[in-house]
């Protein structure tokens, strides 16, 4: 195995170590502050809020919609033969397995709302 030749030393200049110079920001004249405050006053008055904190009009009332009820999810472990039978019956009726379970719960006397008893929620391709 041959040894690699040593690498040459890096050349470092003083310019490489110096921090980059920063550009100075221009100073705004004092009359710019007055024009900015006058513009803020005009904007505040236009939108109904005065600089002293009072409001000319009541703020709009935001009505949030009621949160949607999230469906509960749980895992059901079934024997393979029962899962195959449910899948076959669902395919024969062109419904989901979830529909068959909800339908069975409804027929057993549990409350199942009609809008939750949808045969097939999948999107159809056009």
pTM passes above 0.75? no
Q: What is the pLDDT of residues 25-77, one digit of tens each?
A: 666 666 677 777 787 777 777 766 555 556 555 566 777 777 777 778 888 89
Give the pLDDT score at 72. Answer: 82
Q: What does the mean pLDDT of the chain come to?
A: 77
Give the pLDDT score at 86. Answer: 95
Distances from the Cα of 23 to the Cα of 26, 81, 95, 126, angstroms: 9, 77, 70, 61
Can you tell me which residue has the tokens 């709009």?
Answer: 60
């Amino acid at each position: 195995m041959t040894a690699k030749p040593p690498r040459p030393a890096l050349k470092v200049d003083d310019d490489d170590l110096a921090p980059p110079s920063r550009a100075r920001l221009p100073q705004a004249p004092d009359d710019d502050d007055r024009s900015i405050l006058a513009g803020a006053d005009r904007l505040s008055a236009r939108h109904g809020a005065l600089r002293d904190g009072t409001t000319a009009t009541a703020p709009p009332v935001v009505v949030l919609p009621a949160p949607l009820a999230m469906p509960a999810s749980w895992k059901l472990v079934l024997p393979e033969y029962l899962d195959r039978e449910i899948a076959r019956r669902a395919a024969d009726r062109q419904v989901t397995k979830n529909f068959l379970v909800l339908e069975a719960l409804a027929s057993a006397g549990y409350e199942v709302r009609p809008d939750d008893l949808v045969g097939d929620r999948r999107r159809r391709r056009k």
